[in-house]
């Protein structure tokens, strides 16, 4: 498999985004050794604006500019953290591959490697995620989640400087940067469910570019694609994005898929959690079914209260 074109691979400019894109480029070269690939950084709204993500209107704050560049033909491939990609992608584009998922859990980085259970009362824990903050309040109502923005390196530096007692970040982000040893703990899934798609990378192309679609499809991981499809269907049915505390994780065992999902109010007082299992070919319907179940149990009240 080869192409006479030089394929432009778009990415955000952060160290983590570049590392993720390097891993995708390496996979593509493994399957298409003669392909010519060039990486190009694209600045997104989320990179340019410093306020909390929940205060930025619209979806796709880390992906929209990359999708615009794809549609304009300025790049041929875009690499995203799948959790950043809206459940409804832009018309004319396709997720051609979801690469093999890394650890989907969250991790705590603290001074002196103090685990969450032993942090002092009133500890300031940085997180830019309403999902993490809400679950943190469920676990430790005596600590203080504090909004934080910036790249992973910036967040860790704020712990080292004493501005925060700890931060919560994706374990996969630390792993990709070679910094997993900095974590005081990787938080259990029983204590904190991840964002839908966390730990997975989405590789997006133009839907009508058959040549690139064919090349990128060679690096698709079936289990990761189906698991994240269930999670994203759950999120889509709830009508949520990064502004509401929704968490989900699907696992694949043989021909079966199991999905856990959670909706929690921002104060960490009310939480609705459930699970559902079924055949792999039911991935999206399983996500929709679990969302409907939690909505009927009372999660709809949380979503209605948070509606703009």
Q: Active-site residue numbers?
A: 84
Instruction: Indicate the SS3 state at residue 246.
Output: strand
Nearest 5°: the CA angle 291, 292, 298 is 90
Interatomic CA distance for residues 136 and 287, integer angstroms? 24
Contact 155, 146 (CB under 8 A): no
Alpha carbon distance 104, 125 (integer Å): 20
* Burial class (CB within 10 angstroms; exposed 0-12, middle 13-18, buried 19+) of 208: exposed
Q: Look at phi and psi of residue 13 and say left if phi exceeds 0, alpha if psi is from -120 to 50, else beta.
A: alpha
CA distances from 133 to 103, 138, 200, 250, 273 (A): 20, 9, 21, 21, 16
Scanning the structure block, which residue is given the tokens 């942090």? 119
Q: How far apart are CA 93 and CA 207, in angstroms?
A: 5
* Alpha-carbon span 115 to 117, nearest angstrom: 6
For β-strands 124-126 and 166-170, DSSP reports them as parallel
Sequence-distant (6+) residues with CB within 8 A of 116 are 108, 139, 140, 166, 184, 185, 187, 191
Q: Show the tokens assigned to 218.
A: 């060679």
């Amino acid at each position: 498999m080869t192409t006479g074109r030089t394929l432009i691979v778009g990415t955000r400019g952060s160290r983590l985004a570049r590392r993720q894109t390097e891993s995708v480029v390496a996979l593509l070269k493994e399957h298409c050794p003669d392909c010519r690939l060039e990486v190009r950084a694209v600045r997104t709204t989320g990179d340019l604006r410093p306020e909390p993500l929940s205060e930025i209107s619209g979806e796709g704050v880390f992906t929209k500019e990359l999708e615009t560049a794809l549609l304009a033909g300025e790049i041929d491939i875009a690499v995203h953290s799948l959790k950043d990609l809206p459940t409804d992608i832009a018309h004319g584009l396709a997720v051609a591959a979801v690469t093999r998922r890394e650890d989907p859990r969250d991790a705590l980085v603290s001074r002196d490697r103090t685990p969450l259970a032993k942090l002092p009362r009133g500890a300031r824990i940085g997180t830019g995620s309403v999902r993490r903050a809400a679950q943190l309040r469920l676990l430790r109502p005596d600590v203080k989640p504090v909004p934080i923005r910036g790249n992973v390196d910036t967040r860790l530096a704020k712990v080292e400087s004493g501005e925060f007692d700890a931060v919560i970040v994706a374990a996969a982000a630390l792993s990709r940067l070679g910094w997993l040893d900095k974590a005081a703990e990787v938080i259990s899934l029983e204590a904190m469910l991840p964002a839908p798609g966390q730990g997975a990378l989405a590789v997006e192309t133009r839907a009508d570019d058959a040549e690139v679609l064919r090349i990128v499809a060679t690096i698709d991981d079936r289990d990761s694609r189906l698991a994240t499809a269930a999670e994203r269907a759950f999120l889509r049915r709830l009508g949520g994005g990064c502004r509401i505390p929704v968490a989900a994780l699907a696992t694949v065992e043989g021909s079966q898929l199991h999905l856990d999902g959670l909706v929690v109010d921002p104060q960490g007082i009310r939480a609705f959690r459930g699970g559902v299992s079924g055949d792999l070919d039911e991935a999206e319907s399983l996500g929709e079914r679990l969302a409907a179940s939690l909505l009927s149990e009372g999660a709809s009240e949380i979503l209605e209260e948070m509606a703009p």
